[in-house]
Amino acid sequence: MPSKRYKKALEMVESQKAYPLKSAIEVLRKFPKAKFNETVELAFRLGVDPKQSDQMVRGTVPLPHGSGKTVRVLVFAKNGAAADAARAAGAEHVGYDDMIKKCTEGWTDFDVAIATPEAMAEVRKLGKVLGPRGLMPNPKTGTVTEDTAKAVKEVKAGRVEFKIDKAGNVHVPVGKVSFTPDQIADNARSVIEAVSKARPSSVKGVFIQSCTLSATMSPPVLLDLREFVAAA
């Protein structure tokens, strides 16, 4: 059953109306607040077939104002220089054999995993542990790299990853409800543009079929994407 707070918020939004981004943010900020700093998220319904390998939608995007989340980073690195650079950049967990052993035993107490190309020879074997949780390092998302310091700094600063799910949807955080309206708007624009640019060449027709803005405990607000010509 929806909570009283959710029902009250539901009364404040027209379900069939598509709101311009700034108006949607205004509506969202008027919703009754939860007792914690909720995450604000964009949800896209895409006109793709997730079962087709040439219609995979995946990428990363730096949020101008960060995600508002403390990101815990694990770096797999064999050599001392890459490991030292990762520690200096702020990675919480750095290692190789010891970290691989912990992950093999089921440990996943981190948000992003980064690996050097050399380390990937063994890290690939962690696919069954890291894959289902979306934690496997990948060159396409910048998490397999020799420059561990740069990668750590980028994810700490608010670079977020997006990937299509089995239903053809993409969910991307764009900040916290405590952010200013302009901060949420800037982050949301960056994400909408990044997802739009990730359109596979094999996709025909409308790519972004719908996009909604919501907070953790709120109903979704449908966005009018006409201001984003490339995405519409």
Q: Exposed (0-12), middle (13-18) or buried (19+): which is 118, by Cβ within 10 Å?
A: middle
Residue 232 has pLDDT above 50, yes or no: no
pLDDT over 70 at 27, yes or no: yes
Distance CA 37, CA 177 (A): 6
pLDDT at 16: 85
pLDDT at residue 230 greater than cutoff 50: no
From 156, 91, 75, select the one nearest 123 (Cα to Cα): 75
C-alpha 5: how far from its chain's center? 26
Asked if the domains at 4-66+159-227 and 73-156 fall in one CATH topology, the answer is: no
- Domain boundaries in the chain? 4-66+159-227, 73-156
pLDDT at residue 229, rounded to an integer? 64
1 pLDDT band, cuts 50/70/90, is: low
**Overall fold of domain 4-66+159-227:** Ribulose 1,5 Bisphosphate Carboxylase/Oxygenase (3.30.190)
pLDDT bin (cut points 50, 70, 90) of residue 105 is very high
- Give CA–CA dist 50/29, Å, rounded: 33
CATH 3.40.50.790 fits 73-156, yes or no: yes
Q: Which residue do the tokens 């508002």 mark?
A: 68
